[in-house]
Amino acid sequence: MNLRNGIILFVIVLAVAGAIWAGGDQGKTEDDAPAVKAPEESTAQAGESPSSSSQESRDVEKPQKGFRAPHFRLKTLDGETVDLADNGGKPSFINIWASWCPPCREEMPHIQEAYEKYGDRVNFLMVNLTESDDMDQMQEYLASEGYTFPVLLDEKGEVGDRYGVVSIPVTFAVDEQGVIVHKQMGMMSKQQIFDLMEQLAK
């Protein structure tokens, strides 16, 4: 396990312990204090949320609200290639997760339910941190739970790096123009997921 994966695992353990201690509070949006702050994230960086009307910020790739979502092209479990930019004129829901992550598992049933209801209007891109996951265990988990949403494989950790991931789950909502309109650090409740779907699918 490399240093980045070790940090992710350590932060996940802290997040789970913190959630139990705090009574199970849900994750925060980037406009609130995150459930677990990234070790290398400064206060200034955390507060950078430029207006989505700023054309300059919309042309710059950065994993923050108001900026263009960092591009990626990944293979799915079925061997198909998915390109973030090839969105079919629809918004995208990007969830970064791993099968060993308890908060990821807890929000999965709600994401599946949202996929069944909104999958024709929103692109669901469930990015698995395959570099730090076990492929066989991950596939067994998905099959046992009956999840049918598209799973993308971040086999080299490139998406994790581009999106500055140090804790999971983390979710990004991206509009039809490829601009991030929402960022959620930590587990989302069913209500949060469906509220976000209504915002994206309107």
- Give residue limits of the domains in the chain: 60-201
Degrees, nearest 5: CA angle 123-128-134: 150
Mean pLDDT, residues 118-141? 97
β-partners of residue 185 are 28, 170
What is the rounded CA–CA span in Å between residue 164 and residue 162? 6
Q: Is 200 helix (H, G, I), strand (E, B) or coil?
A: helix
pTM of this structure: 0.76
**What's residue 17's pLDDT?**
44
- In this structure, the number of other CB atoms found within 10 A of the CB of residue 18 comes to 13
Q: How far is CA 28 from the centre of its chain?
A: 13
Q: Which pairs from 73-80 meet CB under 8 Å and 24+ separation?
A: 74/127, 74/152, 74/153, 74/154, 74/159, 75/152, 75/153, 75/155, 76/150, 76/151, 76/152, 76/153, 77/139, 77/142, 77/151, 77/153
Is the CB of residue 139 less than 8 Å from the CB of residue 59?
Answer: no
Predicted confidence band of residue 31 (pLDDT cuts 50, 70, 90): very low
Predicted confidence band of residue 124 (pLDDT cuts 50, 70, 90): very high
Burial class (CB in 10 A: 0-12, 13-18, 19+), 85: exposed
60-201 has which CATH code?
3.40.30.10
Mean pLDDT, residues 178-193? 97
Q: What mean pLDDT value characterizes the chain?
A: 82
- Backbone phi, then psi, for 8, in 5-degree steps? -60, -50
**What's residue 185's pLDDT?**
96
What is the rounded CA–CA span in Å between residue 180 and residue 95? 13
**What's residue 58's pLDDT?**
78
Nearest to 92, CA basis, from 18, 8, 169, 173: 173
**What's residue 23's pLDDT?**
41
Sign of the torsion formed by the C-alpha atoms of 151, 4, 186 and 138: positive
Lowest-confidence segment of 57-66, 81-90, 174-183, 186-195 by average pLDDT: 57-66
In tens, the pLDDT along 71-95 reads 999 999 999 999 999 999 999 999 9
> Percent of the chain scored above 90 by pLDDT?
70
Q: Give the up-direction half-sphere exposure of residue 199: CA atoms within 13 A in the CB hemisphere.
A: 15
